[in-house]
A and B are shown apart, each in its own frame.
Chain A
Amino acid sequence: MAIHERSLVEPERILRKERLVVDGVDVSGDWNLIILPRVINDYDLDFAKEVINSPDGKTINQCYQCSYCTASCPVHNYWDERYNPRHFIYLARLGMIDELQKRADVMWRCVSCHKCTHRCPKGVLVEEVLKAILRTMAKKGLIEEYPSKKFDKFFTESVLEYGRIEDGELLFGWIEKQGYKVFKDPILKKPIPFIGETPEWLKQLTMKPIKSMNIGFLVLNAKHMLFHPRTKNWSRFKQVLRKVMQEEGALH
């Protein structure tokens, strides 16, 4: 086991013996650490099949568990060592659903930087596979709404509606979703910055173009917030997109 993966073993399964004799040889001091085995019988092999059947998940089978991906992952190294792509792939392939579920609180934290995919010596599209695992878990109701998924959905709905996104609306819409009271004008129902609640840092940041009298910038962004930029030939294409997303279970 790679040394950085020690954290995968639950503390209660690690035994440290004062005196240890194996086949009559006293190995105390050198080999006094024992990891208790565990028996697994509640695996679900259909889980992996579902991942393999999606075009972005099919490379999961090429993985030979070398852990290069984990060793290069910034979320693992700088944030939380429980975030471990190699391990998620392992668990998904064995269909160890409850072990996956135990890690649901970190699994979504992947920042999609693709270092894992880039470094993998076996050509596994690691990031894609991880997202395919997450998607499968979400579809089966094994993982709850988590922040990045909520945001991804919110973003995608905006794209579906207009064909394009708009930064201001995304920002304020997201703030609203986080429980801030965003004030909206009564007619167009668009958020008005500075009147409702806004986190302090954001308020200060949005004040900058006002303080420096950057009129052109303000007008452009205000215009976009009021009249959401949209793709013109969109309605027919939108129907197709909607259909595809429904087929994938991404829309209800």
Chain B
Amino acid sequence: MGVIGKRVAYYPGCSLEGAARSYDVSTRIVAKELGLELDYLEDYNCCGAMESKNVTFMGTMLLNARNMSLAKKQGHNVIVAPCNGCSFSLQRAEYFLETDKAVYDKVNALLREGGVDPLDQIPQTYHILEWFYHEAGPQKVKEKTRKPLRGLKVANYYGCLYTRPHFYARTYAHAGGQDEDARPRRRETADDDEHPYYMNALLEAAGATSVEFEPMHTQCCGGPHSLSDEMVSEKFVMMILQTAKRNGADIIATECPLCHASLEMYRHRLMMKGVPDVDVPAAYFTQLLGLAFGYSANEVKLKDNLSDPLPVLKRLGLA
């Protein structure tokens, strides 16, 4: 514990200030309760998500380097992002800037040209889940829980990019049997690559029960294609929802606004088509933690969730 720092630069990313404001609001609540401090990254720009990198390599390096430079300016060596796409993009830039001198030099020259301070040092990026786990952890969550999520069966959905690829996310190659020095960079903060458990641990500390959800817990939701290749996305979401439902989940906990949106959108379409066993609602893990910390459904913005988890939570007396 204590490897990342209690006060970090917070990169919310575009969607947390729009359609996914419930994630932003509940994240701030959870951070406050856990005694952690988020320093909002002023005037940030889009990380390019999963789209821009397919169009331009140098462009995405620049987009992310600009945000890194802003963080340095605010006095931070660590950036925390609540979205799988954002943390992926930042970590990807980090990887190329660290391993490719030519890219690093070119990016710095271009930053200067664009009126942004070049990067003398590259800040490190973590997903917010890693941060919560390492700076507060299950123990602290347990202490803060006033209304335990008793009886709530949760399918913890991590999405693909939280643990992948290990080059960027620095996850621990569980199955690889690597020896100590061969482990990836910053391994001490990284989750297990094939069997991530940080979200399970935090929600279980808040009183919830995790249901069996492998291997769908890290299966792609089709997010990057959710608007351009609907058939693939629909099929992937169907597999995820049905696995959760058939293993008895009341709710799916998410930790990425893109996954969340994709699950809700396609859940709706699948239900319209009458596909069986897809009616599990989704909620951000921070919303569930917020409820456990004694906040109301309104305060964690549960109404924003289009898949409407309120009835399930009410039935269990949790909201």
Q: Which residues of A contact B (CB under 8 A)?
A: 54-56, 74-75, 78-79, 109, 111-115, 117-118, 123, 125, 127, 131, 134-135, 147-153, 155-156, 159, 163-168, 170-171, 174, 200-201, 204-205, 208-209, 212, 214, 217, 220-221, 224, 229, 231-234, 236-237, 239-241, 244-245, 247-248, 250
Contacts and interface: CB of A to CB of B under 8 A. Distances in A.
Contact of A156 (B58, B59, B229): B59
Contact of A74 (B53, B66, B220): B220
Contact of A117 (B17, B46, B54, B164): B164
B304 A217 contact: yes
Given A79-B232, A147-B228, A167-B15, 15 more contacts: A75-B232, A114-B160, A115-B220, A148-B225, A152-B54, A159-B45, A174-B227, A209-B303, A217-B21, A236-B114, A236-B115, A237-B45, A237-B114, A239-B114, A245-B59
A53 to B, nearest CB: 11
Nearest to B58: A244
Contact of B46 (A111, A131, A153, A163): A163
Given A155-B49, A217-B304, A241 B62 contact: yes
Given A171-B227, A240-B62, A229 B14 contact: yes
Contacts of B227: 151, 170-171, 174
7 tightest Cβ-Cβ pairs between the two chains A and B? A113-B220, A113-B160, A117-B165, A240-B114, A151-B228, A237-B114, A155-B51
B52 A155 contact: yes
B182 interface: no
A234 B236 contact: no
Per DSSP, chain B at the interface is helix
Nearest to B194: A118
Contact of A212 (B17, B100, B303): B303
B63 A241 contact: yes
B110 interface: yes
A229 B252 CA distance: 30
Contacts of A174: 227-228
A79 B237 CA distance: 13
A4 to B, nearest CB: 17
A152 B204 CA distance: 38
B37 interface: no
Interface of B: 14-15, 17-19, 21, 43-46, 48-59, 62-63, 66, 96, 100, 102-103, 110, 113-116, 160-161, 163-167, 193, 219-220, 222-225, 227-229, 232-233, 235-236, 239, 261, 264-265, 268-269, 272, 301, 303-304, 306, 308
Contacts of A248: 56-59
Contacts of A134: 54
A231 B53 CA distance: 20
A148 B17 CA distance: 25
Contacts of A204: 268, 272
Given A74-B236, A250-B55, A250-B59, A114 B161 contact: yes
Contacts of B116: 237
Query: In this complex, which of A111, A115, A123, A236 has the most chain B Cβ atoms within 10 angstroms of its Cβ?
Result: A111
Contacts of B225: 109, 111, 148
B151 to A, nearest CB: 25
Contacts of B233: 111
A117 B48 CA distance: 20
A233 B16 CA distance: 20
Contacts of B51: 151-152, 155-156
A241 B268 CA distance: 38
Contacts of B17: 224, 229
